[in-house]
Structure 1
């Protein structure tokens, strides 16, 4: 007889409990046990055994709901910050992830803030797909009594910057809701826009929720969160232990396996988390910008409370390897070049996207000259942001270390060398040199709390988190099967971690591996082709409770894989493509289909 058979819980509630406790550490589980014991004792004492909705409602008073959709954790962090500040100000507030929000409650909402990111080129975060579909569909209700505001997060190096935030802002207005203030559109330097937006949101909440009676005391169902010693604004100087190329001589890709020390930091991470790295720009690129604009690198520039030389600003505080739409627009206006201005029109969207994928700041400055002063240049360039890399190790195996799989972006553009800021920064580090790092939790890309089977789909460096997954599952003796689907150009030069995967297969730590080396035959074969070939097997695994993970490029690989998954479910479930997609969206909401895409 199983534990599930003995449980007094209704069968439909058991998965909810499993999802609630998934990933919780022992102290949190003890706290939760005490909390539930207290609830049980109170009900027993009052003779109440009715469903929770029959109890006195704590939501009878005016309340703020902060709804967030997050892919990498930024929107979640900002939403939780707003919720904490609202609670500290004496306001009734709740913070809800998009896929946990009951859409039937929209009609009753009176004050709603939405913090949502846009991933790739105009896609919603995975946890928000169902909500966005509901709001933009025919079932969305009239919201005449709702007051709202939206904070969108995005990356202005993509033409569809903050598209989802803008879409929801317009949609709420179309449904009759009253916009309290203009939507915020935060770039990767979140604080510039997000912090003023949060201040305005808090002030508006105070005005909207005028409370005359004392607030009800509500015990939050969460453990206290403490700020770690080392974080995004205060990174840890991590010594590099190993920098090893893991692609062969014949490869046109330079992929590195990096190992960094966390000794003495107290930093902890879980499989699925990311490592944030603060890079500095190459001195060669900095000098190229200075020479192109004929500016003196020793000129002192002050922005707010920060004062540095122009050279230091460019090297340590400004983005140079990625073009952004705001800087492009500012340069087009300053240059007076009608060709650049035409590229900002909606009809030129695809052309602009292609240009952004190949040009860097110095390319724009050289090809379309304009006069910039040191002060105006620093004011127009986007602040340098950290890069996030999927962690390629399990801390339960490697201890006070963290491993990365990094593709060194190094190429020639029209006869000149170009590179990625962080990948070049990391690739040129040698053993013993320090790298400023922090841990970025990714709660939506987690191993199942039980021993269910898992399917891992990754191309290129997208295999990194799956190395951590297999290490972790082996360490804790999980009985579930592990299936890896991996793709890269060539077997002999690009089979990342080949020896480790072969050993894992031999040891039974990896149950199955399917490989797609796209350029080893005349017809290109990618991971999605391997999935189609194994469609029946994959469908059976999913039907039997397996968790599905995808890691890789958001705009190509992940989209192609998603289309193939729809086709596989439609074929083997005997349903229409729309129904197959709905079933996949349900897996996303259940946490059984997770994507770490970039």
Structure 2
């Protein structure tokens, strides 16, 4: 819009200059100019060369909270906080573990990014806040405006339940939604962006009556590689760590990352973008009676059906939502019964894949395009980094256990682990990216004692921890509990551990090999044996780390730790639970479980 000379205090020459300048100004520059010209005249006259530090007056304050187990929620929260700050919104960002619930009374605008852990449970750092909000102590929140972004995995029955619970409870307490909750699957980029765009419209555009930039690029680190743009890493080494006769196959993988400009710390993970096994894809196409060369559109990309099924779409994991989508394309009576019976459905899903469904419940009425539209993207597989970047600057090491089992008369393999075990050779490449995990970190103070508990591939992050300590010359108290099946064949990284014990990098180690004796001995039994010493370490400020299978090993260890604190600390069960929750709040009980 051009200024008019009539009734204007500007000359024609000034109007011409203004008309040339104004269309070129950004929103932020217009805000600044408005604030600058509104300042007292004496202030303006006094400015000659110094650039004013004052910027656009803040019109909104927003609190962003995150509850994260693997770092996704935290990463998104930090990204959104940065974007809002660039649009002159005053932002406070915090973990749910650090946010005092009583501060809700002082909060006007709240954005919550939270994941769902396990079978519908809050992540560790969100437990106390979750319990508070659902307790009688929760305040009325009529003044609060909020929105929830929920992260989850639709292969679990209670998909995004934690986010849903928070959303419903805020509403019950009287709060008003800024924008509707969005539930995100593992491939969360697009729905999360749409959610944040809706939130931005309310927080910025409607308040300032100015356009909101469609997207603000946030630079994170030096690397240009990410989950959406993975780095192609060469496989430098691929060694089976288990000895001959072992029931397991555990692979030590070394990847070349020169030129990737990755930056990672012990505790972080590497994401690998996998592909489905070609023989499984061929069998699926045969059962579907599809022409593998037929073109379909998947995520706005034109591909052959075979390319889509092999490289883009998940075909090895069944879930209730997927079965519900499939039900619209079949009238098979047994399929309907399966959906109606939760127990039968769970039993059927366990260990089976999409090929089983096609073979068991044909015929179906879909065409190729309709079929591929039902499926989600193949999620990346995350593996804890097993090396220190300080010790191996151009490499990253992983510890990957092969998943293999037989169900319904057919041998199945893990999409990524099976590929690495059966097909990946030295010189081949893998598509990878760094996945930070701020919730699994070495202590900031080097003299803090650490207790590391893991079984099988759960030793991976501790190898990174100890390599880092070795490189930095740290010899403070450290204790490793490791478990596997057999001493002779399954003692992963035994040589490394012996070296660290000899050098003082690792001060104590206890091992449990469950199948070497008639009585099975697991890491939790070793913890019980040393209960008094472990409690003494906790009183000295030690940090406990647990890495491994969530449903068995990590759950058993958690129960053991609660019992240990109850007995050694002479506490009630409730007091022990509160003690453990306090450890989690202080990041003195950290878990990397899967």
State the TM-score bracket (shorter-chain normalisation). 0.7 to 0.9
Do structure 1's residue 362 and structure 2's residue 355 form an aligned pair? yes
Offset of residue 339 of structure 1: 4.2
The 1:497–1:308 alpha-carbon spacing in structure 2 relative to 1, beyond 3 Å, is same
Q: 1:351 Cα shift? A: 4.6
Alignment partner of 1:543 is 2:536: no
Instruction: Say which is worse superposed, 509-518 or 160-169, in terms of deviation.
Output: 509-518
Name the CA shift for 1:257/1:415 in 2 (closer, same or farther; >3 Å): same
Provide Cα deviations, 1:226-282, integer angstroms capped at 9, x if missing partner.
462211111111110110001122222111111111122221221111011111111
Equivalent runs, 1:422-501 vs 2, <5 Å = 422-427=416-421, 428-450=423-445, 451-501=447-497
- Tell me by how many angstroms 1:411 deviates: 2.3
* 1:242 corresponding residue in structure 2: 237
The answer on 1:299 being equivalent to 2:294 is: yes
What is the CA–CA distance in structure 1 between the aligned matches of 2:350 and 2:386, rounded to whole Å? 27
State the shift of 1:520 in Å. 2.2
Q: Distance in 1 between matches of 2:59 and 2:518?
A: 67
1:591 partner SS: coil
- Deviation string, structure 1 residues 333-352 (Cα, Å, up to 9, x no partner): 3223454445545x72x554
In structure 2, distance between residues paired with 1:157 and 1:385:
11
8 Å CA contact 2:116, 2:162 repeated in 1: yes
Aligned residue for 2:23? none
Aligned 8 A contact 1:332 1:338 in 2: no
- Correspondence list, 1:326-405, <5 A: 326-344=321-339, 348=342, 351-369=344-362, 370-405=364-399
1:373-407 CA distances to partner (integer Å, 9 max, x unpaired)?
Answer: 21111111111121110001111122211111001
The alpha carbon displacement at 1:211 in A equals: 8.5
| Aligned-residue offset at 1:498 | 1.8
Question: Is the contact between residue 58 and residue 88 of structure 2 (CA under 8 Å) also seen in structure 1?
Answer: no
In structure 1, the residue matched to 2:109 is: 111
Answer with 87-96 or 490-499: which moved more: 87-96
Q: How far apart, in 1, do the equivalents of 2:219 and 2:314 lie?
A: 36
1:485 partner SS: strand
The equivalent residue for 1:591 is 587
In 2, the alpha carbon distance for the partners of 1:69 and 1:193 equals 18
Runs (5+) with no aligned partner, structure 2:
1-55, 211-217
- Is the Cα–Cα contact under 8 Å of residues 546 and 592 in structure 1 kept in the other structure? yes
Shift in Å, 1:583: 1.2
Distance 1:257 1:280 in 2: 20
C-alpha distance in structure 2 between counterparts of 1:83 and 1:419, whole Å: 41
Residue in 2 aligned with 1:70? 68
**Residue 400 (structure 2) aligns with:** 406
> Structure 1 458/71 Cα, relative in aligned 2: closer, same or farther at 3 Å?
same
The structure-2 alpha-carbon separation of the partners of 1:74 and 1:341, relative to structure 1 and needing over 3 Å to count, comes to farther
In 2 relative to 1, CA 480–344 (structure 1 residues): closer, same or farther, beyond 3 Å? farther
CA RMSD of aligned residues (A): 2.1
The worse-fitting range, judged by mean Cα deviation, of 194-203 and 90-99 is: 90-99
Contact 1:118 1:163 (C-alpha < 8 Å) held by counterparts: yes
**1:161-200 equivalence runs, <5 A:** 161-200=159-198
Structure 1: stretches of 5+ with no match in the other structure: 1-57, 213-222
Deviations 1:20-73 (A, max 9, x none): xxxxxxxxxxxxxxxxxxxxxxxxxxxxxxxxxxxxxx9996412121111111
Q: TM-score, normalised by structure 1?
A: 0.84
Q: What is aligned with 2:80?
A: 82
Q: Report the TM-score when normalising by structure 2.
A: 0.85
* Contact 1:157–1:356, Cα closer than 8 Å, also in 2: no
Aligned to 1:289: 284
The alpha-carbon distance between structure 1 residues 354 and 448, as it changes in their structure 2 partners (threshold 3 A), is farther
